[in-house]
Amino acid sequence: MAQRWDAIVIGAGPGGSAAAYDLAAAGARVLLLDRARFPRDKPCGGGVLLSAVRLLPYSLDPVTEQTITTFRVRYQRRWQFEHRYHEPLAIMTQRSRLDAFMAEQAAGVGAEFRDASPVRQIDGTTITLASGDVHEAEAIIAADGANGVVRRALGLPRLRAAVALEGNAPRDRQSAAQRWTDAVGLELGTMPSGYGWVFPKGDHCNVGLGGAPAAGPTLRHELADYADCESFASDALTDLRGHHLPLRDSDSALFHDRTAFVGDAAGLIDPLSGEGIGNAIRSGQLAAEAAGSVLAGRADDLSGYRSAVLREIEPDLHVARQLQALFHLTPWPYVQLLRRSNRFWTAFCRIVRGESSYSRLQAQIGPGKYLVEAAANLADRRLRRSARWQTD
């Protein structure tokens, strides 16, 4: 006999745990599932922008390893500059710690959290686990990531995906790691439609790069070259792993009847920065609101979630796609703008901190936004032809 719930959340990453937290805090009976046994790590730089931190009703201090106030930007593995801001811009954590902590918060307000519980079959809002247990719910929230089972089970098209490769530089074995504490590193102008990064953690630095699928065959060589450029010993990097970064096109499905896709499962990664935790959290919260309407009898399906994402998240994604296309077609002038314009740097920091947004920045240029949009559309067509975008 199936066990009944108000909502089932599949995937206990930031988006899934945020959805489970809000639903359980509102009094719903929530089952939060993850296929892995916690704590578990997953490929991710582990940076959480202040804009994302501010979305949560609890502090991330218990899992914060570094607080970032500085960006060091390198251009084409040659010259470098840095900017420091007077307020925190991001925190650095590890996904093994962050995800376990957020799942604990959801459980603390009443959600039933079950790890090591992979889903084997989905039939509407009835799911069967690999253990044979059957569960039913009024709503399903799919937060099962880039390679999620829910989208495949519903027969929906795969998402377009970028590729990335990362490794760790232990502080006790990599002297270069000692210079990275309150700063993150960005390497621009080399990877097609992507960038390299150095993200400092407590006992190591995460070093990685990502970009369009066309870069896939050269990722290992490029990572070694970039790590050496930043004075890390590339042959001593540990925990090397590759992964996909799913990207949403404007017509990608966000819901199906009473199933909503959040975070990476919806392709809500910022295409310019590659950051996904903020939109994962916010989409999880929006999905919880829509599920609450279903549970209260105010809605028959989760179409309200799609409307909320298109209203609140998609406008910024649209502008980010434009900026990404323009930047990667001709990176030099934009790097110079970031390097030399304090006004541009401050605007960037305000977006990172959640005090502004891409769409607000676009609105400030007035009618000029139409010229930007036309140029971005042309740049995007050129980049897509050269990048060989694939589905995840």
Look up the pTM and report it: 0.93
Share of the chain above pLDDT 70, in %: 93
- Give the pLDDT score at 386: 57
* pLDDT, average across residues 292-317: 97
Q: What pLDDT digit, counting tens, does each position of 175-214 carry?
A: 999 899 999 999 999 988 889 999 999 999 999 999 988 8
Residue 391: what pLDDT? Answer: 46
Q: Which of 203-207, 210-214, 317-321, 377-381 has the lowest mean pLDDT?
A: 377-381
Span 222-233, average pLDDT: 95
- Taking alpha carbons only, the member of 8, 182, 197, 202 closest to residue 96 is 202
User: Is the confidence at residue 77, as pLDDT, over 80?
Assistant: yes
Q: Could you list the beta-strand ranges (E) of the chain.
A: 3-10, 30-33, 47-49, 66-68, 70-75, 80-84, 90-92, 112-114, 119-123, 126-129, 134-142, 160-170, 183-188, 195-200, 204-211, 238-247, 255-256, 259-261, 390-391
Euclidean distance between CA atoms 221 and 280, whole angstroms:
31
pLDDT score at 199: 97
pLDDT band at 388 (very low <50, low <70, confident <90, very high): low
CA pair distance 316, 106, nearest whole angstrom? 28
Residue-range domains of the chain with CATH: 3-45+95-156+251-312 (3.50.50.60), 66-91+160-247 (3.30.9.10), 319-391 (no CATH)
